[in-house]
Each structure stands twice: as C-alpha cells, then as structure tokens.
Amino acid sequence: MTTALISAPSTLALLSLAERYREVRDATVTLCVPLETEDYVVSSMEDVSPTKWHLAHTSWFFETFVLAPFMPSYVARHPRYAFLFNSYYVQAGERHCRAQRGLVTRPTVAEVFAYRAYVDEALLSLCVSIADDPAHPAWRVIELGLHHEQQHQELLVTDIKHVFWTNPMRPAYRGAPVESPAPVSQEWVGVSEGVYETGHAGNDFAFDNESPRHRTYVQPTQLATRLVTNAEYVQFIADGGYRQPALWLSAGWSTVQQAGWRAPLYWEQHDGAWHEFTLSGNAPVVSTAPVTHVSYFEADAFARWAGFRLPMEAEWEIAARAHPLDGRFVEHGGMHPSADSRGGMQQLFGDTWQWTQSPYVAYPGFRPSAGAIGEYNGKFMCDQWVLRGASCATPRSHARHTYRNFFPSDARWQFSGIRLAADA
Amino acid sequence: MTTALISAPSTLALLSLAERYREVRDATVTLCVPLETEDYVVSSMEDVSPTKWHLAHTSWFFETFVLAPFMPSYVARHPRYAFLFNSYYVQAGERHCRAQRGLVTRPTVAEVFAYRAYVDEALLSLCVSIADDPAHPAWRVIELGLHHEQQHQELLVTDIKHVFWTNPMRPAYRGAPVESPAPVSQEWVGVSEGVYETGHAGNDFAFDNESPRHRTYVQPTQLATRLVTNAEYVQFIADGGYRQPALWLSAGWSTVQQAGWRAPLYWEQHDGAWHEFTLSGNAPVVSTAPVTHVSYFEADAFARWAGFRLPMEAEWEIAARAHPLDGRFVEHGGMHPSADSRGGMQQLFGDTWQWTQSPYVAYPGFRPSAGAIGEYNGKFMCDQWVLRGASCATPRSHARHTYRNFFPSDARWQFSGIRLAADA
Amino acid sequence: MTTALISAPSTLALLSLAERYREVRDATVTLCVPLETEDYVVSSMEDVSPTKWHLAHTSWFFETFVLAPFMPSYVARHPRYAFLFNSYYVQAGERHCRAQRGLVTRPTVAEVFAYRAYVDEALLSLCVSIADDPAHPAWRVIELGLHHEQQHQELLVTDIKHVFWTNPMRPAYRGAPVESPAPVSQEWVGVSEGVYETGHAGNDFAFDNESPRHRTYVQPTQLATRLVTNAEYVQFIADGGYRQPALWLSAGWSTVQQAGWRAPLYWEQHDGAWHEFTLSGNAPVVSTAPVTHVSYFEADAFARWAGFRLPMEAEWEIAARAHPLDGRFVEHGGMHPSADSRGGMQQLFGDTWQWTQSPYVAYPGFRPSAGAIGEYNGKFMCDQWVLRGASCATPRSHARHTYRNFFPSDARWQFSGIRLAADA
Amino acid sequence: MTTALISAPSTLALLSLAERYREVRDATVTLCVPLETEDYVVSSMEDVSPTKWHLAHTSWFFETFVLAPFMPSYVARHPRYAFLFNSYYVQAGERHCRAQRGLVTRPTVAEVFAYRAYVDEALLSLCVSIADDPAHPAWRVIELGLHHEQQHQELLVTDIKHVFWTNPMRPAYRGAPVESPAPVSQEWVGVSEGVYETGHAGNDFAFDNESPRHRTYVQPTQLATRLVTNAEYVQFIADGGYRQPALWLSAGWSTVQQAGWRAPLYWEQHDGAWHEFTLSGNAPVVSTAPVTHVSYFEADAFARWAGFRLPMEAEWEIAARAHPLDGRFVEHGGMHPSADSRGGMQQLFGDTWQWTQSPYVAYPGFRPSAGAIGEYNGKFMCDQWVLRGASCATPRSHARHTYRNFFPSDARWQFSGIRLAADA
C-alpha cells in the first residue's frame, strides 16, 4: 500500500537543468491524478487555494520572473493571467483578491494545463539555450521557481485535504491508510551550551531567509528523539488539556474558546473513540502515529502540560545536522505520518513539520533579494513561528537542514506536529 | 441571433403529466448546455447557488416530496444527498449550510446528472401509474415540483450571470447581444377607485401565497404603459441620483454609501460611457432597453426623482389582467430585456420583473400548506417587497397574472426593473 | 407605590404654547432625577442613546428647526453641537456617527443642562412673541418639537433600562415594582367587514405618517379585549415555542438561533422560575402582567402557536377609536405594564405597545413635509412593522388613536407586547 | 509651563513600604485631577479602559492578591467587584467582558474612590504590621502591586488621550504644549560583537519576564544616539512612505490600506501642514520633537526607508546600561516627547518607548510565577514586539534598564517612537 505515488527524485542534483525542470513540473501533475475536474476549482477557506490556481500560479511564476526578463521572444499566454495568478508580488502588478480565488471557473482546468504546456515549452527551450552557461542569471531564478513549485506541491496536498474534509461526502484522495508500527520509547539527545554557527552557507540552493550563516548562543538543551504520538496527545485531551486556561497562551485560549477546539483539526469523536479525516478518508486515530494538524498554540500547550517546551530553531538545526536527510516524504505516497520503529534520533524529516518556539524573524544581516522576488520571504517576518524538518507532503529534494518553514500560531491545515525539548 | 434557445412550451397545459414533467426537466438541462464542468461548482455570493446544486436540489424536491411518500418501492439515491440538497425545509431534516454550497466538489456534475436520471425514471413511472387518477395526491405535488423547477431555471440563469461577472475573465454564456428597437413614448393607463377582488381563484396551479382571492380597496391610480429605459435611468444618474440622500429611503442611502453603488449592478463606466455585463458578455448600455438589475431602493429613489411612485401590487394586477400573458420570456433566448415598439400597455411579462411598493405579506385569510411544503412561501413574509410580471429569464408557462415574486430591498442580481405609477 | 413620578399633564391642550413648552421640557428633566452623572454618558447598544445625548439632541432640534429660521438674533450655543447632536437629518448637515454617541464625555452633563437652559430661554421668548399669532410658521414646528421631545422621553426610559441591565450590578431606576391584579379573562370584540376611513384628519397635531385619512377595506375580524399575559407566554415557552421552527418566520428562526433567544429580553431563569429585569431592578416575572419586551418575531410566533394572528393596523384603529385615550402612561410612574381588572376592551393605551402585522409603509397619497423635517418619518418606511397604542413609558399627551409607532422585526428594548386577533 | 504635575518620587527606594504604597497610590489620583466625572466612564476602543476601571482594577489587584490571602480579617468591599474589575486573571475567577468595560456606569466614580480608600486603609495597616518582616510573602506581592499600579498610571494617561481625541470637541487634559529645543545631530554608538549577559539579576524588583539573566550572542552593531524626529518622519511621509508597499511588512501594508493610515496616530493635515492631537489639545507637529504614536509596522518601514533597521533588545540593553536612568518621565508633566539638546547617547528613557525588532518571547529558562500572578506576563508571549526605555507617561521609579514592554505590531496609542540601529 505504500508503493510510492511519485517516483523518488533522489538523484535530482545530478540531472541537467531541463531534466530537473521537467521532473519537478511533472511531479505536480502527478499529484493531480486522483482529482476530478470539480475538485480543482474551490477554496474551502482563505488559506486554501484551488488546485487549478496552484497549477497556474506556478506557471505564472516562471512566465513572469524567467520568461519575461530572459526570453525576449516570449509572448504571455493571456493578458489577464498575470492578474489572476499573481499571489502577493506587489511589485509584479495588480492581483486578484485572494478571497475570490475559488470563484473563478474559467480558465478551465484544461486551459490551465494548456497554459502549463505553453510555459513549459518556452522554459525548456530556454533551459537548453543556457545549459552551458551556469552563470546566466536565469539559472538561479529557474532554481527558485522549482523550489517554489515544490512548495506549492505540498500546499496542493494539504489544500485538497481541507477541500475534501469540508465536503460532507468526505471523499478520499488515495487508497487505504498506511499502517503505523509501534514507536520506540522517547529518549533525549543533548546539545551542549556554546556559540554555534547556523543558517545556510555554500552554493547550493537555499531560500534567502536561511541566510546569512551567523553565530548564535545556545543554552544546554535536550531534544526528544521522536515526535509526540497520538496516544500521548489523547492523554493530554483526556486530562482536560483543552479546558485548562493555565496551559495556554492568552491568544491560544481565546482561539480555543472562539473556535471551539477540543482536538486537532480533522479529529472527531464517535462513541468515545477519536477518528480523523485523512487523505485516505475517515479512519480511527492510530495511537502509535505522530500527532499532526496541531497549531502552535496546541503544540505549546501540550509541551507545557508535559512539563517540557518546544525546541528553538537553532537547537533543532544543530541537533539535526548530525543526521541524514531521510524520512517519509511525499514520494512515499502514504500522505500521513506514521511511527518509526528504529531507535535513535528519528523523524527529523518527513512525517510532520515540527513547531519551534522561535518567532520567524530575520537572521542578523539578512538582506532580501532585489525586486519582486525579494517579496518571497522577508515581508512575512511578523507574527509567525518557525517550523523545522519536513512532512509527509514535502518533496524529498525540497527539504534542507537549514529550511525555515513558517506559519501563524493558529494554522492547523499543514502536517504540523510536535517534538519536545527540555533545558538540560 | 434570437433563435430561441429553448423550444416554446406554449401548449404545456395540453400535455400529459409525464410529458409536462419531461418537458420542464429537459428545459433545465438545456439551460446548462453552454456551461463547462467548472462553471457548475461555485457560488459567487450567498444568494447564488452553484448550477450543480440547482440540478440536484430540484431532483431532491421530487425525491422527498413525491417519491418518498407516494412510491413505496423508491430507494433514495444516496444517504447524504438529503443533507446536501435540502434548501430550507426545516421539517424535512438537517441541511448543509447555504454559505458552503459552493465548496462541495463531489458529487461531480456527472453524478448529479445521473441523480437526475435516477429520479426521473422513478417519477415518470409514477406519472404513468397515476395518469388516470387526477385526484391522486401526488398530482398536485408533482405540479408544485414543476413550478419549483421553473423557479430554479430562472435562478440558474441569474446565478450563472453573477458567477461569470465575478470572474475577471468575464466569460459569455451566449452569443451577441439582442438588439433593442426604439421604445414608444410612455403613456398612462388608469385604474379607477373602488373595491376589487385580487389574488388567485380557480383550479389551475398557483402558489399558496397568491390565495385567497380577497377584496381590497384601490385609490384612483395611473400606471405607465412601459418600463423605465436605460436612457431615463442614465439621466437619473447624471442628475446626481446616487448622491442625493433626500431621494432615498434611509436604509437605501446607507446601502448606497456602504456598498459604493453608483449605477445598477453589472454597470461600469469607461471613458464616460456606461457599459454593462450581460449574458452575452460586456456590452455598451443600450439606451432604448429597459433598465434592469436595480434594487427596490433604486427603483424607489428613481420614482421619487421622477416625481412618481412605484405601483402597489393590487393596482398592477388589476391593470395587467386586461392583457394577455405574452412577452419575451426565457424561451426567446435573448436573456436580456429590450424595448417593445408596439404601442399600448406593454412589457407586463418578460423583460424584467417590476418592483411594487407592496411589502410581501400574507393575503387576508392566507393559510400555508400543511407540512414541510408549507415552508415554501409563508415563512418569508417579512422585510421583502413584491415584484410582479416576469423576466427574460422566466419560463413562459411559469408566469401568471397573480404571481407574487419577492426579494429584499437591496437585491439586484435578478432581472428586476421599474414601471412607474402615479396618483390619479 | 404608584404615586406618579411626573404630574399628569392632562390639560395640556388648554395651556399656552409657552406653558406647554415648559411642561414638556420639564418632564424630560424630571425623568433624569434618579440618575447619577455617570449614567448619562453611555450607550449599551447601537439602538440606545446616552441620556445626555437625548437631552442635547432635543434642544438641538429646537435650535435648528425653530430658533435658527425664526429668531434672527439667536446665536447657536456652540459651533460643534450641531455636529454632535444631529441624529439623522441629512439635510441639516454633517453628523457624528451614531455608534460613537456613547464615547463623548464632553460637553459634560452640567454643560448639556446649561445648553437646554440657553435654548429654553430663547424659545420661550419666541413663544411669547408669537403667542397671538397661531398662524406663525414657528407654531407647528414648536408643536412638532414638543412631540419629538416626548418621543425621546420614552426612549430615555427604555434606553436607561437597557443601560442598567447591561451593568452586572443591575442598578434600579425606581422603587419597588408595581403590583399587578388578576386579569379578566380574554374575550373578543368584532370589527365588521367593510370600507373604512382611517388615519388622521383635522387640525390637531399628528405626525405626517398618520395622514392622509384614506379608505381601506377591512375583512371581518375579532380583536382580543386584553393583552397577552406573562402566564400565557410562559406556557408558550414551556411548550417549546422557542424550539419549533415551524412557528417562526424564517428570519425570526435565524435570529432565535443566532442570538440564543429563549425568552423575552430581560428575562432569566433561576431554579426553574422566570425573573425579569425591570426599572425597579430584578424581580420575579408576574404572571398576571402583560408580557413585554418581545419582538415582532416573538409576537408573530406566539400568535401562530395560539392559533390566532396579530391585528392589522386598520383593524386596531377602528376598534380603538370607540374607546377613550386612557391607560397607565409614564405619568403613572410604575414604569412597567400590569393587568387591568376592569372588563371590556382594555389596555389599548399605556402598558405596552402592540405589534400589528402591518408593515410600516406610506398611506396612499402620503407626502412628507418639505425640507429636513420631512426626514422625520418617511425615509424609514422599509422593513419595519407598525405598533399601535402606547406604553407605560409614553407620556399621556403623546398618545393618539391614529399614532403609528414602528420598529424592525427584532427590536425588543421597547415596551412592546401582544394583542391577538382572529378572522371572524 | 513644565512645572511638574506630579512631585518627583526620586527617593522612592528609601521610603518605608507604607510610604511607598501611599506615594504610588496618590500619584494615580493626582493624574485624575484634570478629569470631569464623565471622562472616567468611557472606553473609546477595545484597548482603552475607562479611568474608573483603572482606579478600581488596581485596587482589586491589592484586594485579591494581597488582602485576601494575607489579611484574614479583610472583607471584600462588594461581591460583584471581583467580577467587574478582574482584567485577565483566569485563575482568579470569572470576569466581565473587556469590550463592555465602558458601558458600566455604577459603581460611580465616587464609589470607586471610596473603594480605593477602603482597600488603602486595610493595605496600609497590613504594611505597618509586616514593616519589620521583609521576608513576609506579602512584601513582594505589594511590590508587584505597586509596579502594576504604575503601569496603569501610564495606561490611564494614554487611554484618556485616546478618549479625548475620539471626542469631536477635542478637549485638553493640560495647559499649553511643551516646547522642544533643536535636537543634536544623530550620531552612532557601537556595541561590539560577543557573548553578553542580559536580563535582570539581583534582589531589586523586576517583572518575571526580565529573568533569568542569560547569555546571548550579539553581532557588531551601532545604535543611534537619539530618537527619530518628526522632521525626519515627515520626510518619510513626503517621500511616499505610506504608498510604497516594498517598504512594509506584508501585514503592515494590509493594515496601512485597510485602516487608511497615512501618518502617525493623532496626526491630521490642514492646508498642507501636519497637526497632532496632544494632551494639550490640537497643535502643530513640532519638527524637532521625537516622532511618537507610531506602530511597529511604521517604525520598521521607516527604518527600511532610511536604510537602517530597528535595534534588537539585547543591543539596546547593552548600550543603555552604560547610562543613568534619567529622562522626561510623567513627573515632568509635559506629557509629550521633546528634543534633548545635550550631546551623546540620550533619550533612552522618558520621551518615547522604542520599538525593537525582537519578538516578545521568553528568555531561556524563564519560569512564570506560580498561581494567578503567573498570568501577568508569560501568557502574552506571542505576536508582540519588545519595546525598551520608557515614555513621557511612565513614572520615573517604574523604569529599568532591563524593562521589557510589549505591544502588537499595529498598536499606536502608546507613546512609542523610533531609535535606529545599523549593522557595524
């Protein structure tokens, strides 16, 4: 049942630019295979974009930031697409209102696929023409576009999950749920006190927000070797976790009360037993699997209840860089986190993103890229928290030890989970 | 260009019940011919239902109110459809939230058409079995269901118009706009003072809110022989109609300011000239055509500006019943009002509904039908106004001299227009 | 305990204009006697104005519509008062936002009383100068101003009741609650079918919305001889009145659910017994007293549950005009409705206003007054219902057989109650 | 004109506990001297509490956290006061809704002063009884209560400023505005790279969020020697600062557009010249004075426009601790920031708080106090930024080098200003 839905691009770095472009672009299309035309159209909440929009927006990105500046002969596919498919790049011109993305029935799905093919043809011809010139300025923007596309692959999965859950019919995206073995018992790995360098260095691709590499002081710390499980989280619920204000941040407690939270997103209780909606449809909550679809508020409250805290991002990065970049990514095909029965530090990547208690702010000396592309990361450095690792919806070649994901305190529709930390 | 999109069912009354059922149901499907699958899914504002929902809801109506009670062997198509496709019949059980109708991608369009076919097969067999028994209680509910379906045909047209307009691509539903000849000059027709009987009587079908026939006192009145034209309405705008609070009801003036109204819905000004979105796409406003997509607030303000008033529904009915039930209905295919160059009282039916200054309340002695079907009309008798006539989106066989349409003061997405009245 | 709080102005009509002016203005001040300075300042919901604002606004009315046009030597008290104390007269200039009325601490209460004295001095001198000239145009505006002031006297009482109820301290405005005797059993009084004239005629003062007198057709009807009691309303509650959607208008049922209504405004249940907040503080609901603080939605649902309906305003007026204008008005001092143990038609005036099922619209031939004063009534003829009679907060000399009070379907903070009607 | 409104309590530390209690409590009352009774009642936005509430809440704090646990004979003044005057201490029981604080007219101002006197009498007698026992657990809670009271003194000033500004009459709290001399030119002071200890240490009072003292790594940095002036900020406005999205955080740009910001709070432009509302009433913006009432969003955008950044809190603290704790505090009486003509590092305290680019989160190893008092600071560590220094509304004895003030990104009603920083 865990035959990979997507072929593993493990050797991506060895491919030519054109091959990599084709591989990443194809992976997006592969994710759409289980969808009906109707599924591409709607947005079930403001955070969720229609699949059709993801498909078009990623193409618009290449059209706007690669083809327009670097391929003089290129003619934009349609004069209104720039308006419809720009997300938030103010410097790239007027945009459609995000709240209305799910109301746009045309271009149709077929027209959007034709738009992709049109962009791909031009882009691939550009790739060929600059293949021997890695210093060509288009290279790094194409690279960025591919990583951008991979981010939208993850969003496409989490968004369609929300769309399907919103539907009282509760359709499934894939087959039977993956199994989760018994987890190992939780142990602790220490990070010793000292001045460390963290952040991205070198010539490989990284987003601008991972730089510059810089020094930071870390207190003596311990990190849990595995993610918090559903069984542990059910204990928190059973102990009145959602009813004790003293466990929560003030804004978290307001959210619990106003939104009526009493469990992670997608959970419901039937006859005393917890069930959750997965990409394989409704299923009993598997006690051995990592808890997911919890907000920062819930991760923080759980940690407080458990007598621990969440890691800081530097602690996480220092502990993680001793370990290889493996895990159950989107290519695994399960599309849901599960336990890992191997001992030692595990689940750093794949399964679920891990909330840290580090606010998402600039590293010392951070400089965003010039122009509209500089709007990619920097302008969101406010009222969000860093998540580290990667999830079961992340493409493997998209993950990095220095990767900084970020979401606001109440976001729950991503595959976000909990790794505990403790003062040593 | 005005070849009828739908064949005229002028002899509907002569057909067998089964033939009428098939004719009305087919007309709904015919209206969907210009649509792409994606167009069926979305709801562009809370008043607007997805086409897919209209198709399923009308089938649910027959399933629930005809097949369930009158055909013991009938098995509901799907256990969740009653939840998804009940509109507002509280006594018929729990319902999906109206605001979320546009978020439901499954059942797909194809599945909804299969649902229709499934219901049709059962219903037609019931029609045959009761063909010789016009006293069978299913007859009148089937009749009601057909008129209900026709109401949704009109909504399907006005809703898809709103969906298309919401889309920055502004797709068109049909071919080039219909032409509008020069209108005749406006004259007045008198209604003399006295006690009249109005409302429905007899055995022909009518909604419960058209009954009972009852006496009412009418003051001496004059009604305009034609609808207000775009040219006249443009004068109102040019004279500062939308900027003079003294012309407006208090709630109307608030709406004008909060919503930023400065013209009818679908109008925009380019280089000083007014354009409007029609089912044939964007087009210049045709000065000779009747103004449409105005709210009660606007109709009332226009009438005050012009020195007149809107008719009361009894006045309209008394004047109208001297005239035959003809006009440009949905079967005409133009899907937009146009002028009529014939003299005398005209445009009573077709073209646009006509706002009256009669609040939508019960006729003296009104009794709603028993059971859930009694929720059809009576429970909406609050804060709405009666409109009379019919529009270019109304099926011809759906119109009646006694028909009472109703919408709130700020509704603009129907084909609603203005006929003036004056105290004699 | 029912010693009158305010001396009864029963001979008001015999007084000179100046004497009447002084009497009405003094009555407003008398109503403020129980208040602390702090009580004058706040607005507990958007419908409620601060006492201070009522005191200033009524003075502004005389300043703007009488002194400014008719007393050339008059100098406005303060250049900002017109902005602060204009309510909704668009033609009288810019106004302060209604929602912010309760945020204005200056002018202080003392300054507002000084403003009143300043206006009174000028106005009384004008009264004297035109005393012998009843045709002087200021006469009818002063008259209007006095009736306007009386409307605000009633609002002052119902508004301060809401302010006190909003306060968890639940202060009382007056002494112990009035007693309510046993009510007589309910009987019916008939109105026979026919064409009647209703509305105001003659030279006595009436608001413009009571005119013109006009013919109307009335069906054979019966009206209850007394108001619905709390005991009867408690039965409605106990019978699940607030839980049966079939009893309610659609908008009413939405309101019940969204606002969580399960009893009239100001009621709460303690240990199974109903209590209500009155101007004498919290007290047990008195079963014999008329129910009050119900909305149109509740009055309509109660009538449907009881198998009857609400009267139409013409029916009420025809039945009422056979009876004198007496009742327990604000001068009675009880400030709460109570039963009447006398037989026959009773409680037409005083105790509670009576919801009718007549929408508040213009009488045939209605013409609002010219200028800003024409904004008094006409522009509110939309989405409201007529109430007839008067309440325990209405000044006796303010009531009339033809008086048309009006509020929206969900308004509950007025002393509004229920008189039943039935088709004969 | 700058004669101190409040006598300077510079020797506070030398006083007995009872003397300090009396001094701080009296200072609150002194701040109320310019107010009318009406001014105490209202809340002009949700962040603003009524003066009356500040007076009562600070007394409730002593009643609840000192008298209730440590003085067995104490009887609470009124059983409802705990409900009305608890702010956010969930563990201290049910509370009144913050949004309704401004709707409560009773207890009156006089009753609230009586409540203060009642609490003071008990508290002072407790102070005397424990005067010789500095280890008594009440000591540190009284100490906390006094610092809590001083925080509310600052809020009282900034809140009443907002209340007065909301009033179209624009009343003044004090006499003519203070003058502002010519500022010195801006210079830079360096902080060298390295590991530093920051945070509170020792036995003097500090809030829990200033602890523990801990190590942190600081990059080489420069801090401006003075605050940004109005003249500099006007240049930012004139250069289109509020119209260039590239200068703003994404959430900041949304706020600018939705709230229509085009200048600091309290500023308005008349005939091209900027004016601002001060506690001395409306006045021209003084170009030499520090800009104030700017949000984090504006401070951050200004710094980006100027080519610099905001300081981090550790940088600020390291630079500040070389300087004494002096400045223009609330005791100065000017109640508005002004320039300082002395050279060198200046304006660290008094004048305006200074936004840092440090999110308000826990120091490593932070442990909130036990019980309800632990809700003081920790539960707000989410989506806020640290401000350092103190303002012209801060009591002198309330300021500390390690003080961490915090507000959300869009808060503007505090005296918040800008000190620039630069990477060295």
Out of B216, B359, B365, name the one closest to residue C359 (CB). Answer: B359
The b/e string for C327-354 (b: 16+ C-beta within 10 A; e otherwise) is bbbbbbbbbbbbbbeeeebbbbbbbbbb
Tokens 């609400």 — which residue? Answer: C310
Chains A and B touch (3+ CB pairs under 8 A): yes
- pLDDT tens profile D99-140: 899 999 999 999 999 999 999 999 999 999 999 998 999 999
What whole-number distance in Å separates Cα of residue C88 and Cα of residue C148?
Answer: 13
Q: Which residues are within 8 A (CB) of D87 and not within 5 positions of it... i.e. 6 or more apart? A: D57, D95, D98
The answer, yes or no, to whether residue D305 has pLDDT greater than 80, is: yes
Angle (deg, nearest 10), helices B250-259 and B296-306: 120
Rounded Cα–Cα distance for residues A81 and C99 (Å): 43
Question: Any idea which of A405-409, C281-285, C376-380 has the lowest mean pLDDT?
Answer: C376-380
Give residue C120's Cα distance to chain centre: 24
Q: Are D180 and D217 in contact (CB under 8 A)?
A: no
* Mean pLDDT for the stretch of residues B165-186: 92
- What is the reported pLDDT for C1? 29
Q: Is beta strand B353-359 parallel, antiparallel or unpaired with respect to B416-417?
A: parallel
Hey, of B60, B105, B282, which one would you mutate to test binding to chain A, going by the most A CBs within 10 A of its CB?
Answer: B105
**Residue C402 pLDDT grade (very low, low, confident, very high; cuts 50, 70, 90):** very high
Tell me which residue in B246, B249, B365 faces C423 most closely, judged by beta carbons.
Answer: B365
Decide if A185 touches D, using CB distance below 8 A. no
- Which chain C residues touch B88 with a CB distance below 8 Å? 250
Listed residue (C22, C296, C37, C235) closest to C146, CA to CA: C22
How far is A334 from A2, CA to CA, in rounded Å?
Answer: 6
User: Tell me, what's the pLDDT at B90?
Assistant: 87
Tokens of A99: 């709240």
pLDDT over 50 (residue B138): yes
What's the average model confidence in pLDDT over C347-366? 97
Pick from B39, B108, B164: CB nearest A36: B108
**pLDDT surpasses 90 at B68:** yes
Residue B370, pLDDT score: 84
Biggest CA pair distance of chain C: 65
Whether D and B touch (3+ CB pairs < 8 Å), yes or no: no
Nearest neighbour of C249 by CB, restricted to B88, B215, B381: B381
Higher pLDDT, D370 or B225: B225
pLDDT at C260 over 50: yes
Chain-chain contact of C382 with B215 (C-beta, under 8 angstroms): no
Q: Does B91 score more than 90 pLDDT?
A: no
The confidence score (pLDDT) of residue D370 equals 84
Please name the chains neighbouring C, where neighbouring means 3+ C-beta pairs under 8 angstroms: B, D
**How far is D164 from D154, CA to CA, in rounded Å?**
16
Q: CA D207 to CA D398: how far, in whole Å?
A: 11
Residues 6+ apart with CB under 8 A from A107: A52, A56, A78, A81, A115, B169
Interface test with D, best of C55, C105, C159, C170 (most D CBs within 10 A): C105
Chains D and C touch (3+ CB pairs under 8 A): yes
Average pLDDT over residues B143-164: 98
pLDDT band at D352 (very low <50, low <70, confident <90, very high): very high
Q: In which band, very low, low, confident or very high, does the pLDDT at B282 lie, cut at 50, 70 and 90?
A: very high
Q: Is the CB of C94 inside 8 Å of chain D's CB atoms?
A: no
DSSP character at residue B24: H
* pLDDT, position A12: 53
Classify residue A78 by burial, with Cβ atoms within 10 Å: 0-12, 13-18, 19+.
Answer: middle
- Nearest chain A residue to B83 by CA: give it: A168
Asked if the Cβ–Cβ distance from B382 to C251 is below 8 Å, we say yes
pLDDT over 80 (residue A14)? no
How high is the pLDDT of residue D12?
53
Q: What local confidence, expressed as pLDDT, does residue D90 receive?
A: 87
3-class DSSP state of C188: strand
Asked if the Cβ–Cβ distance from A167 to B83 is below 8 Å, we say no
Q: How far apart, in whole angstroms, are the C-alpha atoms of residue D301 and residue D130?
A: 52
pLDDT at D10: 40
Chains in contact with B, counting 3 or more C-beta pairs less than 8 Å apart as contact: A, C
| B424 reaches C (C-beta below 8 A) | no
Contacts of A219 in chain D (CB under 8 A): 214-215, 364-365
pLDDT at B8: 37
Give the distance, in angstroms, between the CA of residue B66 and the centroid of all CA atoms in the same chain.
24
Give the whole-angstrom CA distance, residue D106 versus residue C169: 7
- Total-model pTM: 0.95
Question: DSSP letter string over D221-252?
Answer: EEEESSPPBHHHHHHHHHTTGGG-GGGS-HHH
Q: Give residue B13's pLDDT.
A: 56
Does any CB of chain B come closer than 8 Å to the CB of residue A93? no
8 Å CB contact of A250 and D423:
no
Write down the ipTM of this complex: 0.94
At A197-234, the pLDDT tens digits run 999 999 899 999 999 999 999 999 999 999 999 999 99
Q: Which of B91, B217, B408 sits opposite C216 (nearest CB)?
A: B217
Average confidence (pLDDT) over A130-136? 91
Token digits of residue B159: 């809703």
Question: Which amino acid is it at C41?
Answer: V
Using a CB-CB cut-off of 8 Å, the residues of chain B touching C253 are 90, 379
Which pLDDT score is estimated for D14? Answer: 64
B199-215: average pLDDT:
95
CB contact under 8 A, A251 and D364: no
pLDDT band at D417 (very low <50, low <70, confident <90, very high): very high
Angstrom distance (rounded) from CA A331 to CA A395: 7
Q: What percent of chain D has pLDDT over 70?
A: 97
Nearest-neighbour CA in chain D from A61: distance (Å): 19
Average pLDDT over residues D155-175: 97
Amino acid D374: pLDDT:
87
Query: Which chains touch D (3+ CB pairs under 8 A)?
Result: A, C
pLDDT at residue C136, as a whole number: 95
- Is residue C342 predicted with pLDDT exceeding 90? no
Inform me whether the pLDDT recorded for B277 exceeds 80.
Answer: yes
Arithmetic mean of pLDDT over chain C: 94
Task: Please report residues of A whose CB lies closer than 8 A to that of D250.
Answer: 88, 375, 379-380, 382
Q: What is the rounded distance in angstroms from the CA atom of residue A109 to the CA atom of residue C317?
A: 64
What's the pLDDT score for residue B12?
53
User: Which range among B178-187, C132-141, D43-52, D382-391 shows the weakest confidence by mean pLDDT?
Assistant: B178-187
- Indicate the average pLDDT of chain A: 94
Residue D73 CA: distances (Å) to CA of B343, D126, D205: 96, 11, 28
Residue contact A163–B105, C-beta within 8 A: yes
Residue C191's beta-bridge partner residues?
Answer: C221
Average pLDDT over residues D158-183: 94
Conformational region of residue B207, where left means phi above 0, alpha means psi within -120 to 50, and beta covers everything else: beta
Q: Which residue type is seen at A147?
A: H
pLDDT at B72 over 70: yes
- What pLDDT, on a 0 to 100 scale, did the predictor assign at position C14? 64
pLDDT in tens, C182-197: 888 999 999 999 999 9
pLDDT in tens, A73-118: 999 999 999 999 999 888 888 999 998 999 999 999 999 999 999 9
| Paired sense of beta strands B421-423 and B416-417, if any | unpaired
Selected residue of A36, A38, A109, A164 to mutate for chain B interface (largest B Cβ count, 10 A): A38
pLDDT tens column, C307-329: 999 999 999 999 999 999 999 99
Distance CA D51, CA D96 (A): 16
Buried b (16+ CB within 10 A) or exposed e, B340-366: beeeebbbbbbbbbbbbbbbbbbbbeb
Identity of the residue numbered B8: A
Which of B:205-234 have CB within 8 Å of C? 214-217, 219
**Band of pLDDT at residue B109, cut at 50, 70 and 90:** very high
How crowded is residue C235: how many other Cβ atoms within 10 Å of its Cβ? 14
